[in-house]
Amino acid sequence: MIECLVNGEISNFVETSNRGLNYGDGIFETLSVHNSRPRRWQAHMDRLGAGCERLGMTMPPQAVLLREVQTVSAGLADAVVKIVLTREGQGRGYMPVMDGSCVRIVSAHLYPDNMAELARDGVEARICELRLAIQPALGGIKHLNRLEQVLASAELQRSGASEGLLLDQENYVISAIAANIFLVLEDRLLTPRLDRCGIRGVLRSQILLGFGARCEQRRVTMDMLQEADEVFICNTVRGIVPITAVDMQNYPIGPVTRELQAWLHEGSRKQ
Amino acid sequence: MIECLVNGEISNFVETSNRGLNYGDGIFETLSVHNSRPRRWQAHMDRLGAGCERLGMTMPPQAVLLREVQTVSAGLADAVVKIVLTREGQGRGYMPVMDGSCVRIVSAHLYPDNMAELARDGVEARICELRLAIQPALGGIKHLNRLEQVLASAELQRSGASEGLLLDQENYVISAIAANIFLVLEDRLLTPRLDRCGIRGVLRSQILLGFGARCEQRRVTMDMLQEADEVFICNTVRGIVPITAVDMQNYPIGPVTRELQAWLHEGSRKQ
């Protein structure tokens, strides 16, 4: 971590009574920031707003968040900035103060340096044994209850694979551990519906927006994954990463994945 | 909060990189402490150990935790002490360091003052609309991913009821929001199996131990709840609290609930 602001003040500390710490009562965003300009800012703010609404927290003004993102990333050509919002509140007990204010934690981190290789060469994945719980009340939002992702990452580490795919308790394909997934079947793009678990990624949303006519959000089965011509994962930091294998099955890095990578690259240059 | 130790030092702060804050990557215990003696200490330590093992964290020595519990509650006749253990680790990303050490956060809080009335008069409950997700990987342990309990508490607040009962996604009865539940059917005690969600409460475990021959852990349906002669909830701070109504159905405070309360009272006096 390079620099951190807590409620606008330089600090690396939050109170032990913080509800994010005690209950995971909050949400977060991870942004890619280039020369003090956060990429896909409005999309991140829209998702943060949706998360605040779902949990019943009042979102801080976007201008305040933007200033803090720019402050922590000042002087860095490329940075990853994390915004954490936790529900304000003291005292022991689950009962929240609804529609109250948030604690803001905004921190800058070094940008990972192997992004170009990942995008070019892709990664091999395995299906994690852990199954995501189905919880419509929390599905889609980027909340702070992430033990499933921690356990899936630990599983991946033990297996030696470089990426993990997650199914839900009913064995539908949901996502990678920290990225969304798209399947290419002929000319169509399929991506899982995220109404019951998973996070609606900002880059996923932009792909759905940019390629709407060719995209379909649906329940994705393992059969569909096996029949896919191409598979890729995406998130805001790593961009679009081809999946070259899932367990024993190999996938080519195909033309549709390369088309979307070119579209993403073009969009980034314009921003 | 009265006093707090972080890794043994007096402090009300943890680092913003703390994995408990960022992912809920940790566990907790809530203890009832009387004149510096934590009640049911070994049972709490056993559950903490089970949680550490499940998440792949190394549990701090019990003697260290006991000393810290006694330090924060020194001078208080009655206190609630919370122990939070979060996985040690820096950096952004879900990947955990397995079998590494924990950050210890031990804090003392005032004991609530209406416990005797609750035990005597009981509470009315309603069935929450929120359904608990089914996640066997996390079922039973007292981990820090508690957004479901926060949302259920918010729901309860809106409804004006004083206690909420939680069902899982398959509509089995699991628990109250922050307490376990027992049904009395004739002379038998039924309590939900907590292998897929819920927390294995320390007082629940002691009741199972003390009344083993009359107890059954099983999937509990709404039908069974409706047929129950008596219903009570229990946790380590509130003790055994009769449920006098669930939505429109009333329950008497019956002889078995009173028998268990007397047993608990006797046990507390002996400790």
The neighbour count for residue B114, using CB atoms within 10 Å, is 9
Answer whether B80's CB lies under 8 Å from B52's CB: no
**pLDDT value at position B76?**
94
Cβ contact, residue pair A23, B80, below 8 Å: no
Q: Which residue of A has its CA nearest to B30?
A: A92
Residue identified by tokens 């927290």 is A57
**pLDDT value at position B225?**
98
Sites in chain A below the pLDDT cut of 50: none
Question: Count of CB contacts below 8 A, A vs B?
Answer: 192
| Phi, then psi, of A207 in degrees rounded to 5 | -65, -45
**pLDDT value at position B71?**
97
Most B CBs within 10 Å, among A11, A23, A168, to test the B interface: A23
Cβ contact, residue pair A178, B145, below 8 Å: no
**pLDDT value at position A180?**
98
Cβ contact, residue pair B148, A137, below 8 Å: yes
Answer whether B47's CB lies under 8 Å from A44's CB: no
Question: Which 8-state DSSP code applies to residue A211?
Answer: T
In chain A, residues under CATH classification 3.30.470.10 are 3-111
User: What does the pLDDT average to over B147-153?
Assistant: 98
What b/e sequence results for B13-24 when a residue is b if at least 16 CB atoms lie within 10 Å of its CB, and e otherwise?
bbbbbbbbbbbb
Question: Pick the residue with more confidence: A146 or B2?
Answer: A146
Helical ranges in chain B per DSSP H: 19-23, 41-55, 62-72, 115-121, 147-159, 202-210, 222-227, 255-270
**What stretches of chain A adopt beta strand conformation (E)?**
3-6, 9-10, 13-15, 26-34, 37-38, 78-87, 102-110, 123-132, 163-168, 173-176, 180-185, 188-192, 215-218, 230-235, 239-246, 249-250
Task: Enumerate the residues of chain B whose CB falls inside 8 A of the CB of residue A105.
Answer: 16, 21
3-class DSSP state of A34 = strand
**pLDDT value at position A10?**
97
Answer whether A152's CB lies under 8 Å from A177's CB: yes
Most B CBs within 10 Å, among A6, A94, A196, to test the B interface: A94
ipTM comes to 0.96
Task: Enumerate the residues of chain A whose CB falls inside 8 A of the CB of residue B92.
Answer: 1, 30, 80, 82, 109
B71 to chain A nearest CA, in Å? 17
Most A CBs within 10 Å, among B29, B98, B147, B156, to test the A interface: B147
Answer whether A152's CB lies under 8 Å from A141's CB: no
Q: List the single residue in B80, B150, B178 with the smallest CB-CB distance to A96.
A: B150
Share of chain B above pLDDT 70, in %: 99
**pLDDT value at position B271?**
58
What is the distance between the alpha carbons of residues B107 and B89, in angstroms, rounded to a whole number?
A: 22
pLDDT in tens, B58-113: 999 999 999 999 999 999 999 999 999 999 997 679 999 998 999 999 999 999 98
In chain A, residues under CATH classification 3.20.10.10 are 116-270
pLDDT in tens, A136-149: 999 999 999 999 99
How far is it between the farthest Cα atoms of chain B? 55
pLDDT in tens, A165-204: 999 999 999 999 999 999 999 989 999 999 999 999 999 9
Q: Indicate the angle between helix axes A41-55 and A62-72, nearest 10 degrees.
A: 120
Task: Tell me the Cα Rg of chain A.
Answer: 19
A62 to chain B nearest CA, in Å? 21
Most B CBs within 10 Å, among A28, A150, A158, A175, to test the B interface: A150
What is the distance between the alpha carbons of residues A133 and A123, in angstroms, rounded to a whole number?
A: 26
Q: Which residue of B has its CA nearest to A98?
A: B154
pLDDT in tens, B172-211: 999 999 999 999 998 899 999 999 999 999 999 999 999 9
**B133 pLDDT above the threshold of 80:** yes
In the numeric block, which tokens belong to residue B189? Answer: 């005690």
* Beta-strand relationship, B163-168 and A249-250: unpaired
Cβ contact, residue pair A145, B55, below 8 Å: no
Answer whether A200's CB lies under 8 Å from A141's CB: yes
- The topology under which CATH files domain B3-111 is D-amino Acid Aminotransferase; Chain A, domain 1 (3.30.470)
Residue B177's Cβ-side half-sphere holds a number of Cα atoms within 13 Å equal to 25
The neighbour count for residue B88, using CB atoms within 10 Å, is 18
Task: Enumerate the residues of chain B whose CB falls inside 8 A of the CB of residue A94.
Answer: 146, 149-150, 152-153, 177-178
A131 to chain B nearest CA, in Å? 8
Task: Enumerate the residues of chain B whose CB falls inside 8 A of the CB of residue A31.
Answer: none
| Phi, then psi, of A38 in degrees rounded to 5 | -70, 130
**B1 pLDDT above the threshold of 80:** no
CATH number of B116-270: 3.20.10.10
What is the distance between the alpha carbons of residues A184 and B38, in angstroms, rounded to a whole number?
A: 58
Task: Enumerate the residues of chain B whose CB falls inside 8 A of the CB of residue A150.
Answer: 19, 23, 25, 55, 87, 94-96
Task: Enumerate the residues of chain B whose CB falls inside 8 A of the CB of residue A154.
Answer: 56, 95-96, 98
Q: List the single residue in B25, B146, B169 with the smallest CB-CB distance to A23.
A: B146
Q: List the single residue in B84, B94, B147 with the smallest CB-CB distance to A138.
A: B147
Residue A63, Cβ density class (10 Å: 0-12 exposed, 13-18 middle, ≥19 buried): exposed
**pLDDT value at position A247?**
96
* Beta-strand relationship, B239-246 and B123-132: parallel
Task: Enumerate the residues of chain A whose CB falls inside 8 A of the CB of residue B80.
Answer: 92
Q: Which residue of B has its CA nearest to A158?
A: B98
**pLDDT value at position A271?**
58
